[in-house]
């Protein structure tokens, strides 16, 4: 469904895709999971994550069949995030570069787009929702919001984990805009849950406990990726701190 709405019927290498989200962890990685899996396992290419606002949850990446050994985690101060992204896009063997840059001036976005055009990599830029009103050189821009299924109030936790959805409104693309936002089902993986919730689930075995899920809770729960990452079993970690001084 999303491919049909994208120019070229999919994510386009050599162009920045700007993903606007209300909070980190609402489903932006699950949205890209199929592409990241293809890049890391089939094509054997690396994926660079620059300045994510949370620690990487390698258990969740494994659950999505994304190869952790092909993930490069770059920690950089705010004033060097753009530089790190440009350097990453210049490297051989890079399949995708994911950049978290909450505050970016228009000229910075133009620099990132130029760097993406000169590469054969996918480039994804994550920014907050209020950036939607700002100009951007990114050829593709979309707003992503989590949403509950209609019957969430009657579901237990396991059920709504499998039917949680992401609403995608494409606000800039080549060609006409969408008539209405897309609604994609993006199931949550059990390993992505905090450790204490996983243990409780395992102890219940097959016994299901009914929960009343408040519609206001799910966005906060999904977005609580920092806690999930800290609690999850981390299988490995690739921690690269880049700076212009080190490169020189």
Q: What mean pLDDT value characterizes the chain?
A: 77
Q: CB–CB of 173/198 below 8 Å?
A: no
> Per-residue pLDDT for 26 more than 90?
no
Instruction: Write down the pLDDT at residue 163.
Output: 73
Per-residue pLDDT tens digits for 142-192: 999 888 777 767 777 667 667 778 889 999 988 777 788 888 888 776 555
Q: How far apart are CA 158 and CA 156, in angstroms?
A: 6
Considering the domain 2-237, what is its CATH architecture? 3-Layer(aba) Sandwich (3.40)
The pLDDT score that the predictor gives to residue 157 is 65
Tell me the C-alpha distance between 118 and 103, whole Å.
23
Nearest one of 107, 114, 98, 112 to 135, comparing CA atoms: 107
Helices and strands (H and E) in the chain: how many: 10, 9
Q: Is the pLDDT of residue 227 over 70?
A: no
CA gap 30, 57 in Å, rounded? 12
* Residue that wins the pLDDT comparison between 201 and 42: 42
pLDDT (tens digit, 9 = 90+) per residue, 32-74? 999 999 999 999 999 999 999 888 888 889 888 999 999 999 9
- For residue 14, is pLDDT > 50? yes
Pairing label, strands 94-100, 122-128: parallel
């Amino acid at each position: 469904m999303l491919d049909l709405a994208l120019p070229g019927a999919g994510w386009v290498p050599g162009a920045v895709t700007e993903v606007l989200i209300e909070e980190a962890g609402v489903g932006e990685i699950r949205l890209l999971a199929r592409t990241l899996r293809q890049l890391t396992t089939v094509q054997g290419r690396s994926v660079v994550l620059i300045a994510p606002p949370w620690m990487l949850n390698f258990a969740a990446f494994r659950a999505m069949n994304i190869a952790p050994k092909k993930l490069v985690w770059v920690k950089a101060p705010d004033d060097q995030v753009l530089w790190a992204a440009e350097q990453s896009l210049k490297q051989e063997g890079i399949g995708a570069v994911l950049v978290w840059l909450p505050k970016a001036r228009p000229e910075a976005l133009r620099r990132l787009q130029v760097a993406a055009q000169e590469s054969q990599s996918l480039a994804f830029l994550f920014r907050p929702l209020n950036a939607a009103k700002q100009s951007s050189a990114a050829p593709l821009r979309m707003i992503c919001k989590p949403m509950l299924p209609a019957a969430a109030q009657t579901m237990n936790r396991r059920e709504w984990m499998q039917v949680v959805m992401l609403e995608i409104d494409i606000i800039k693309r080549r060609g006409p805009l969408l008539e209405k936002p897309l609604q994609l089902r993006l199931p949550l993986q059990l390993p992505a849950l905090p450790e204490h919730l996983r243990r409780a689930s395992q102890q219940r075995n097959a016994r299901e406990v009914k929960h009343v899920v408040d519609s206001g809770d799910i966005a906060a729960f999904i977005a609580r990726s920092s806690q999930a990452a800290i609690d999850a079993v981390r299988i490995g970690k690739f921690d690269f701190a880049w700076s212009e001084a080190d490169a020189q």
